[in-house]
Amino acid sequence: MAGETEDLLVELKGITKSYGPVQSLRGVDLTLRRGEVLGLVGDNGAGKSTLMKVLAGAVQHGGGEIRVHGRPVRFANPADAQAEKIGIVYQDLALCDTIDVAGNLFLGREPRKGPFIDRRTMHEQAAQILSDLHVKVSSTHQEIGTLSGGQRQTVAIARAVSFKPDVLILDEPTAALAVAEVESVLRLITDVAARGVGVILITHRLQDLFRVCDRITVMYEGQSVDDVPIDQLDIEKLVALITRSEPQKAQKEVSP
């Protein structure tokens, strides 16, 4: 798993970003390798989401360097990032409630037969994608609005995976899900990484990080402050890294 350079998918060096006088990113370093799940943690306002928007092309960074497959790149818009095979699933999932599962998976790129949508092919391919990823829905004809939160999340991830990304960014995929649904999302993340995709996982659910991540990058006030393999951490140490306090003190602060 460790550090051969050809495995390196993404390298961020000294990324900065200012919104007027507010400096929300003040020098972030981050690396991601093929088949790796990287946990990105930090308190609210640490700059995790901004950093991921930079990497997904939704926001343009000020200083610093983005390298993808070793090549320096600069994204002007999300399409540029998508062309570099970087996919992102935002917290709002970007699904349409009144359109069925297959329609959502292929929204904007429907298989066609002349001027018409080739529904048969679309549903067959959708079923293939979902069963490959072990996503549990009862039918590709189900409307998205009738699915549970976990099913919606897995469909959104399946949609992102169907673009065959090298890098997949997941923003709080397990927030507000029932326990069984968290399991299915975590299993899906492991499956996706096993296919060689580098996954960046943003979450506040620290226990999830220990389930799926290989490595944790910690952000604090717009900077990356730590980069630690998961086997050198336990939950108390992790909390201490996030809050920048001593483990003992953190334990007191955090334990209910």
Q: Site residues (CB under 8 A) for another protein?
A: 78-79, 92-99, 102-103, 106-112, 115-117, 119, 123-132, 137-142, 161-164
The least CB distance from residue 134 to another protein, in Å, is 10
The least CB distance from residue 46 to another protein, in Å, is 25
Q: Would you state the torsion angle of the CA atoms of residues 235, 237, 242, 244, taken in this order, to the nearest 10 degrees?
A: 150
Ramachandran region of residue 182, left (φ > 0), alpha (ψ -120 to 50) or beta? alpha
Q: Which is nearer to another protein, 1 or 107 (CB)?
A: 107
| Among candidate residues 212, 162, 165, 159, the one with its CA nearest the CA of residue 56 | 165
Q: Would you say 126 and 140 are in contact if contact means Cβ atoms under 8 Å apart? A: yes
The least CB distance from residue 226 to another protein, in Å, is 33
Q: Which is nearer to another protein, 1 or 96 (CB)?
A: 96
The least CB distance from residue 252 to another protein, in Å, is 43
The least CB distance from residue 203 to another protein, in Å, is 22
Cα angle, residue 78 at apex, residues 10 and 36 outer, rounded to 5°: 30
Q: Give the 3-state secondary structure of 96-114.
A: CCCCEHHHHHCCCCCCEEC
Q: Which is nearer to another protein, 16 or 142 (CB)?
A: 142
Q: Which is nearer to another protein, 126 or 233 (CB)?
A: 126
Q: Which is nearer to another protein, 155 or 212 (CB)?
A: 155
